[in-house]
Structure 1
Amino acid sequence: MSYKYFAYGAIGAALAVALGAFGAHGLKDTLTEDMLEVYETGVRYHMYHALALMLLALLSDRIGDAKLIRVAARLLIAGIILFSGSLYALALSDVKVLGAITPLGGVAFLAGWGCVAAAALRARNKV
């Protein structure tokens, strides 16, 4: 479990760097200031959760409940896709309805973090 999700996190972090650079250099003259801020928010949450995925993979053996950890990792990945992906699409297309997808990604992030907390509390009770 840890190798696969660590790799997913590393790939996600690399993608966040590439998308961030693209935004900073390729879009600064194309997007409005507001849309550039939307794009940057997507990059920031993308990187946070890619790094969190890597940390989760490293700690997965210590936290315990492998099923909850896998669910948490999958929810963080879904959150990156839905939250950050919808912000990227919104900024690049200016199709406002895409903003309706963003909260689904936020819910996935929250559920993922809830699974991490539950796994940690279960592990604590087993010690």
Structure 2
Amino acid sequence: MAEIKNCPNCGEFFNYTGIRDVCHKCAQKEEEMYEIVYRFLRKRENRAATVERIVEATGVEQELLYRWVRKNRLHPALFPNLGYPCDNCGHLTTKGKLCESCQNELKSDLRTFEAAKEFRENVANNEKGTYFVNKGK
């Protein structure tokens, strides 16, 4: 069932069905901007353009470009300098929420945590061992 929301771009009310996050008019404007960006990128000399260069040449907002890359409307495999910011450090990435560096750092931290947890469990188990008491012979 649709719910009524305000468009984050223009403030108009629209029926939100889960497909688009903006009203129909703003969605049409986004499609027009997408066509401009895609035509720009299809030219051989622009395929390696950076996000900043695309914004400068087409006038599209950076966040809109990032959203298109996240939703795979613009494929970084075809346009190598495209990406979106890592949720942790802000460097451009092409898949997931974290860049390769942050993923590796997180994996390393998890391994360290697991090793420390295992060590603490071993120490706790060893402390529960049997104690021998010498009864004064």
TM-score, with structure 1 as normaliser: 0.28
Structure with greater proportional strand content: 2
Structure with greater proportional helix content: 1
Structure of higher RCO (CA pairs closer than 8 Å, 6+ residues apart): 1
Task: Answer with 1 or 2: which has the greater Rg.
Answer: 2
